[in-house]
Chain A
Amino acid sequence: METSETAQAPKAIEKSPEPVEKEQDRHSSDKFVLVGKSIRVFPGMRLPLLDMPEAKAYQAEDIENDGTHLYALVCNPDLYIRMSHIRQRIGTKTKGLLPLLAAGVAFWRPLKRRTMILIYQLPMGGRVVTSDKFNSPFPREESELIAGWIKPIVNALNYLAVSNLTHRAIRPDNFYYLDSEKTQVVLGDCITAPPAFNQPAQCETIGSMLCHPEGRGNGTLADDLYAFGASLITLALGYTPTQDLTDDELLALKVKKGSYSALVGTGRLPLFLIDLLRGLLFDELDQRWNLMSIEEWIGGRRSPSIQKKNNFVSQRPFMFKDEEYYTCRALAVAFVQNREIAIDAIRSEKFLTWLAHGFEDKSMYDAVQKSFEQAAVSFPVRERQNEFLLAHICLLFNPAVPLCLKDFVFMPDAWGMLLAIFFLQNKDPKPLTRIMFSGILADGYLLKNDFIASQKIKTWQMTLKRLAVGYGIERLLYELNPGFPCQSPLIRKEYVTEMSGLLEALEAVSNNVDVKDNPLDRHVAAFITVNCPDKFNDQMSDINSSRDNLAAQGLLSLFSALQKRFGPDKLFGLCAWIGRHILPMLQNYHNLEKREQLEKDLPKYIHKGSLIEMYRFLDNRDERLADAQSFEQARRDYYQISQEIESLSGDREKRTEEALKAGYELATIFSFSLSFLMIIFLLISRYLKG
């Protein structure tokens, strides 16, 4: 929308009063940072024992409520945090969950930028596990263990499941004692990092272990239950039996023996826990215990949890990387682990022969054949065919494995999160859009029997295809990650997560930006469209118009509506900034004198700091209507005058003929008049003579 008019903005517009200082920052000092209205966080008072891998802990106090012990976790502003938890959990106290009392964005001096600060209730009993080897905290009595450990955590997981959330940070070192008597066990923070980002390998399922840490996705309750089971083993034994194994070795062991056997190893668990742990650690999703199974177990029902045998076992082995594989499930895991060479194996004749002759059931062979045909039809380039084949066949063999692509391995539900992480890390998101359009993502959902999600992909593809401002990849970024801070380069450091903070953030940066930059870039537009219930479809339509005046009108209309709705009342810097971009709006008036007058008076309104008044001034409906009507009349008049000029000066021959004819007529009239006068004269003179 940068136009010559913009460049020729009146000088008065360039000067603007200082932007409004943020209310919250004004009340903060060097000693503390204010979160919300009454919570002070002290940057100089660290609490290292409560640190999370991606967030440091600090002392905090509530000046309105002295009795509550708090601590703050300061999030890394360059890392994805789980805003959905913040939105749903603030102020709720759930047994088994560390209470999240408040959260807010504030300027954090050590980072020299604004970031999210979480305020939790201080766990007075501290962390349960503070070292690699420890004495098991579990009581010897089964009933005490169930009452003190199992029930609270199951309650917490149940609450999260009902809230459509998952914890995904259940690991031995993330259990706390809420009270100083160490009777109330709670799960610690899970917000400060992407889901399962810092999870140790033993606490993640085989599929999740294969993913890149950023690509594990929110997962489901089953993933939390698995992590709970794995954590219980460590807590029960006082050490992690698999701590000396590398992640790859542990993965191989899990695939070979099953998760329960791999994780327990030679450890000696309390007998009453074995059924529960076996149930929680089933690798087959349909066999893994759910909350109801655990409730039944708590209620005393002890049904043996025996893993069903996999019937899809080949009679002959398939050799891959010098290893013999008898099952498709194990082979899929190996393919994901060795994806550089997996495609050669998939395209080899031996592979199809093994599928054709190794199994009695030929359905897998047929499905693989179809995959080859689908790849050939859908992708003209062999490289893309290979990418599709690898991902598709791995999911066919083992629906629990993640999407396996050349550069990324991730769960389908982590796509949106990955997009957010790409933007946070300033990476080019093109590979992710390619995945979306290739159909591999929809395929991943379909093979995991998630038909609703696979339908959503089509909507997302349509959004991605629209290049207009307010759509495209930026729109998806904010739609799929509710509460994600606006990533506009203009206000990225302001960490804007709510609409109410957007205009303040733009005001804060208005004196430090190049005023030629449009305040409504693609990110800001998408952020508004997603986070504002009004959507502002009309304004967005105007902004995307190819006509500069309409686009400028849309811009001012949108921002004035935002100021009206979210405040603040005075936005001096933003008014001056927007003033540079709305000059084409003067073209709405056809009368040049009116335009000049408006341009002359505009600085007065800019200095008032009200976008609403600016909009009213520039878009007076009655005046515009009168101007348009007068202009139409003027156009008609001009056209008629042109036609008259054309008739007067265009065809001279005709005009000459007309003039000559008139001349002859005049001469004739003159001649006959003389003759008539003569008759009258003669008659009168004869009459007078008698």
Chain B
Amino acid sequence: MADTGKKGKNKLHGAISTMIVLFPMVYFLRSTVVFLMLTMMPTLASLFIETKNGSRYKYKWLCIGGLNFAGALPFMFKMWFTDNTIWGAIAMFFSIKTILVTFGAAALGLLFARTIPMFVLTFIETKDQRRVLALKEIQKKMVEKWGEEVTVFQAKKPLR
């Protein structure tokens, strides 16, 4: 009981500390946060879908997110050095160029997430098949040298 009480207190302390740090940051970077919230929507959507579908490997949103962020960065830089306000952030986002670049980058991320694993899979399968063929050739040579007896092996069991 005492332990449960302690854990609850620690969690509370953690949440309060985070709030103390985060709130001033969100307050001071409120334009950046708004801009990122808008431009990173494809990433958030992808995270949401993956979480909802219960995907085993949740890499897709990271892949989209990486490029999405890369697409958003030049506009964010531009905003920081021109009109670093909430309205400035909204105006920046709603320019066609920003939407095309950021969402296009996210689409490219999606394309990477779809094609690269398949490419890797094909590559690995081909490599495996070649390795198996090479190993079988080695075994064939061993049988030619030692006879069929070489195929019989019983791994020694460790003594108990």
Q: A-side interface residues toward B, CB under 8 Å?
A: 590-593, 631, 634-639, 641-642, 644-645, 648-649, 655-668, 670-675, 677-679, 682, 686
Contact = CB atoms under 8 A, between A and B. Distances in A.
27 contacts: A590-B146, A590-B149, A591-B145, A593-B145, A631-B150, A634-B150, A635-B149, A638-B139, A641-B135, A641-B138, A645-B135, A648-B131, A648-B132, A655-B124, A655-B128, A657-B56, A659-B117, A660-B117, A662-B117, A662-B124, A663-B117, A663-B118, A664-B59, A667-B116, A670-B63, A671-B113, A675-B67
Contact of A666 (B65, B73, B120, B145): B120
B145 A671 contact: no
B57 interface: yes
A135 B112 CA distance: 137
B119 interface: yes
A635 B152 contact: yes
Nearest to B128: A648
User: Lowest 10 CB-CB distances: which A-B pairs, in order?
Assistant: A663-B117, A671-B66, A663-B120, A664-B59, A675-B70, A667-B116, A639-B153, A659-B121, A678-B70, A659-B124
Contacts of B125: 655-656, 659
B149 to A, nearest CB: 6
B146 A668 contact: no
A492 B90 CA distance: 120
A503 to B, nearest CB: 35
B144 interface: yes
A638 B151 contact: yes
B153 to A, nearest CB: 4
Of B59, B136, B151, most buried by chain A (CB within 10 Å of CB) is: B59
Interface residues of B, number: 46
A638 B142 contact: yes
A592 B145 contact: yes
Interface in B17-47: none
A665 B73 contact: no
Interface of B: 56-57, 59-60, 62-67, 69-70, 73-74, 77, 81, 109, 112-113, 116-121, 124-125, 128-129, 131-132, 135-136, 138-139, 142, 144-147, 149-153, 155
Contact of B67 (A635, A663, A671): A671
A648 to B, nearest CB: 5
Of A658, A666, A668, most buried by chain B (CB within 10 Å of CB) is: A668
Nearest to B71: A678
A664 B117 contact: yes
B133 to A, nearest CB: 10
A548 to B, nearest CB: 14
A642 B145 CA distance: 17
Contact of B116 (A636, A648, A670, A678): A670
B150 A670 contact: no
Contacts of A634: 142, 145-146, 150
Contacts of B131: 644, 648
Nearest to B119: A663
A638 B140 CA distance: 10
A667 B150 contact: no
Contacts of B145: 591-593, 634
A635 B150 contact: yes
